[in-house]
Chains A and B, each alone.
Chain A
Amino acid sequence: MSAPLPLLLASLVLIAGGLAALRRAWRQRGEGGGALVAGGWAALLAALILCAGGYADRGVAFGIVLAMAAALFFVFGAALRPLAPAPRRTLRAAKTAMPESREAGWRSRLAGIWTFVLLGPLAGLVSALLGSLAFRLAQPVLAPANAAVIAFFLAPLAWAVLAALLLMEPRRWRRSAIVLALGIMGAVGLAV
């Protein structure tokens, strides 16, 4: 696809305007930036609609690429100017965010291996089961291809969400229980 110049220029203007508005609003840190934030997002959305109007689904993807490329210019532009040092909060968060081993010896190692197995193969299998269950539930009302694609989308997405949320759960037994419960739900749903 080679986009026609007027469409490209109009999209670029909207994207640049939208990003500039967002940048200004966020640098004001909450002081009267509501209109700018809304306007910035609206301009980005308008750019995507313009691209979609010209080139259907390929146009939307093209517009998103254009927006990300423009955002990089803004970010690297900001990189040339030194800013104020980071607020204390970031330092505190970073300080507490280290995955530390609280238990010594073999118990810690076993716990680590179990966490890996839980988040890797087990959560992956459970997510695949959930995807298949979604297919089973969607099959009566959707075309088979549509139901299948829901499963193919859902399985990796569920795995990613599950992995992130499970690691945010500090209690190990609760992590295991969640995976077990979801696994049983998926297996029973498919067996019925």
Chain B
Amino acid sequence: MKTRPIWPKASSGRVDSALSAHSLIGLIVGGLIYVLCLSGTLAVFEDELEWWEDASAPAVAAVTPEAAQKAAQTLFSAREGELSHLNLFLPREDWPRFVASTDEETRSVDAAGAPTGHHHAPWNAFLIDLHYYLHLPSIIGITLVGSLGAMLLALVLSGLLAHPRIFRDAFAFRRGGSARLTQADLHNRLSVWLSPFFIAVALTGAMIGLFTVVGYLVAQAGFGGDILALYAVLFGEEPAPNPAAAPLADIATALRTMKARFPEAIPFWIIVHEPGTLGQHVQVLAEHPQRLIYAEYYNFDGDGAFVSRTGMSDGALGQQIASSVYRVHFGYFGGFWVKAAYGVFGLCLCAVVATGLNLYFLKRERQGRPAPRLRSVWTGLVWGTPALLAATFAGSVAGLLPPASLVPAFWAGLAALLLWAAITPAGRVRLEARAAAGLCLLLIVPFNVIMRMPADAPLLLHAVSAVLALAALWLLRPVASAAFGKKDPAGRQGLTAPAE
């Protein structure tokens, strides 16, 4: 019996034009997509990195309703002006911390509800800002990031169309042959098998990023231009404000009600809207362990009496889908192992983007039209981005770079590195950028462990230290190989360093 092909038989014209489209999109947006992919991969571990950065903060396994009330009251009493929101971030299974924030400050809190110090994780905020906004003003930045998500989706689609033997070659991986074949196989195999992941992160990223622009048009089309009415349909309505003064809302009663009436829900975020006013209300965001939804919103009045559920778990399907986008994008739905898998898949996506452009330069060389400067600049971006991320991370943790300097340091550093790369052979760019990234990590790990981490630091913090140290050693491997006169296997196969 002959197997009937699952994939439609490709005409050579279609394959060529799909490949051409794939290459063009990659050339235009590949650099920014790479920065987003790398920052997104790191952002999957934002909780762990944030805690490592603020390592002296206490570990908190659980918070009682009374402790939550006390923490909220302490921050509320310390306010200097009117507050619009007061947030309590409760400990979770993979984030054993208790953090409280208002419009004015963010504090780490101990299990008894007493603030222990200012929450200080500026590099983590820098990383999230990079991934969400590329450090641009919020609407412009998030729309650009959403547009890049759509382009990543276009790359996946054109790549699949351009692959005439997608299933037959699904498990083939030629290693040890020419650099181009090795890179092509790495690019194609990872792209095929991880396409569900690539499509999921690209589509959800584009949805999140383009929410404002598409929401504006949808609001025009169906809500008389009132975008808040559209938000209310998806995420619930806010009660009418009443600015008259009142004691702070009864959070403890709300939490006790949650435990009694909704024991299956796991509260992780409490928001007091317009705290200290008669119009204040409390939202308890709770995880539903079997669902992809980010949270169900449980609404309480200022006295802590239960009012309603917004319906993210059992309301309209559209609400449930809208609420599921975030966890699918960041891999927050299966504990540590799913996050770890997302980390690996994210690195694979970075490798796919990097090898895609590498293939372009290799093909140009094969056709007698080499572009060594451009290729060096691309190598500079591929290895310079992690180097600058590592340098800002180390500088921030060591206290050498104040929070306000992280963004200019990163972008100015990257620009300088790309300029240097344009006049430097790609192999040297790769080697030195890797060395810089590895050294930064290698220096900052013992510094943080010795100087800032408490003696009884939990296992999670040590695990982060170990992963960072291993990453440093991997980055430094080609440097060590060069020093000891050994050939670097990755470089030998042309995985990263072009012929010079």
Question: A residues bordering B, Cβ < 8 Å?
Answer: 1-3, 22-23, 25-27, 29-35, 37, 55-59, 61-62, 64-65, 68-69, 71-72, 74-76, 78-80, 82-83, 85-86, 89-90, 92-99, 115-116, 119-120, 124, 127-129, 131-133, 135-136, 139, 142-153, 155-157, 159-161, 163-170, 190
**CA distance in complex: A58, B366 (Å):** 47
State whether A167 and B25 are in contact (beta carbons under 8 Å apart), knowing that A85-B177, A97-B162, A156-B149 are contacts in the complex: yes
Complex CA distance for A64 and B161, rounded to whole angstroms? 22
- Using a CB-CB cutoff of 8 Å, which residues 200-239 of chain B contact chain A? 202-203, 206-207, 210-211, 213-215, 217-218, 220-222, 230, 233-234
Query: In the complex, are the beta carbons of B157 and A34 less than 8 A apart?
Result: no
Q: Give chain B nearest CB distance to A30 CB in angstroms.
A: 5
Residues of B within 8 A of A160 (CB): 150-151, 153-154, 156-157, 202, 206
- Contact count A vs B, C-beta below 8 Å: 282
Prevailing SS type, chain B contact patch: helix
**Which residues of chain B from 279 to 329 have any CB-CB distance to chain A below 8 Å in the complex?**
289-292, 315-319, 321-322, 324, 327-328
Interface residues of B in 142-189 (CB under 8 A from A): 146-147, 149-151, 153-154, 156-158, 161-162, 164, 167-177, 180-181, 184-185, 189
B3 touches A30 (CB 8 A): yes
The residues of A that contact B162 with a CB separation of less than 8 Å are 93, 97
* Residue from A72, A129, A144 within 8 A of B194 (CB atoms): A72
Q: Which of B22, B158, B190, B334 contacts A3 (CB 8 A)?
A: B334
The A interface is mostly helix, strand or loop, or mixed, namely helix
Q: Within the complex, what minimum Cβ distance (angstroms) separates A187 from chain B?
A: 11
Residues 1-41 of B, flagged 1 when their CB comes within 8 A of A and 0 if not, give 11111100000101111111111110110000000000000
Whether A148 contacts B234 by the Cβ 8 Å rule is yes
Q: Which of B1, B181, B234, B328 is in CB contact (< 8 Å) with A145?
A: B234
* Given A1-B333, A128-B217, A136-B222, 14 more pairs with CB closer than 8 A: A22-B170, A33-B3, A61-B292, A65-B334, A68-B345, A69-B341, A75-B171, A120-B147, A146-B317, A148-B233, A160-B156, A163-B25, A164-B22, A190-B217
Residues on B lying within 8 angstroms of A by beta carbon are 1-6, 12, 14-25, 27-28, 146-147, 149-151, 153-154, 156-158, 161-162, 164, 167-177, 180-181, 184-185, 189-190, 193-194, 196-197, 202-203, 206-207, 210-211, 213-215, 217-218, 220-222, 230, 233-234, 289-292, 315-319, 321-322, 324, 327-328, 331, 333-335, 338, 341-342, 344-345, 348, 359-360, 363-364, 367
Chain A positions within 8 Å of B173 at CB level: 75-76, 78-79, 83
A128 in contact with B6 given A62-B338, A136-B221, A151-B218 (CB within 8 Å): no
A155 touches B214 (CB 8 A): yes
Shortest beta-carbon distance from B486 to chain A in Å: 20
Q: Which residues of B contact A78 (CB under 8 A)?
A: 171-173, 189
Decide: B207 and A164 in contact? CB cutoff 8 A: no
Selected from A29, A99, A145, A163, the residue in CB contact (under 8 A) with B27 is A99
Closest 7 CB pairs of A and B: A167-B21, A97-B19, A156-B206, A145-B318, A160-B153, A149-B318, A146-B318
Write out the residue numbers on chain B whose beta carbons fall within 8 Å of the beta carbon of A58. 289-292, 333-334
Please indicate the chain A residues that have their CB under 8 angstroms from the CB of B197 in the complex. Answer: 64-65, 68
Are A132 and B220 in touch, CB under 8 angstroms?
Answer: yes
Is B338 touching A65 in the complex (CB atoms < 8 A)? yes
Q: Which of A35, A65, A98 meets B23, CB within 8 Å?
A: A98
16 intermolecular pairs with C-beta atoms under 8 Å apart = A2-B334, A22-B171, A23-B171, A30-B5, A65-B197, A72-B194, A75-B173, A75-B193, A80-B175, A128-B213, A145-B317, A146-B317, A156-B206, A157-B153, A159-B154, A170-B17
Question: A78: nearest residue on chain B (CB-CB)?
Answer: B173
Tell me, in angstroms, the Cα distance from A82 to B345 when the chains sit together.
24
CA distance A80 to B15 in the complex (A): 29
Cα separation A94 to B16 with both chains bound (whole Å): 8
Query: Which of chain B's residues has its CB closest to A70's CB?
Result: B193
Beta-carbon contact of B153 and A99 below 8 Å: no
Q: Contacts A74-B171, A76-B173, A131-B214 given: A98-B367 contact, CB under 8 Å? A: yes
Establish whether residues B3 and A168, one from each chain, have CB atoms under 8 Å apart when the complex forms: no
Which A-chain residue is minimally distant from B193 (CB atoms)?
A71
The reply to whether A98 and B364 contact each other, CB–CB distance below 8 Å, is yes
Residues of A within 8 A of B24 (CB): 99, 115, 167
- Known contacts A56-B290, A93-B19; is A68 also within 8 Å of B210 by CB? no
Q: Give the distance to chain A from B212, nearest Cβ to Cβ, in Å.
A: 11
What residues of chain A lie closer than 8 Å to B158, measured between beta carbons?
164, 167-168
Q: Are B333 and A62 in contact, CB atoms less than 8 angstroms apart? A: yes
Question: Given known contacts A68-B196, A90-B184, A98-B367, is B211 in contact with A26 (CB within 8 Å)?
Answer: no
Residues of B within 8 A of A144 (CB): 222, 233, 316, 318
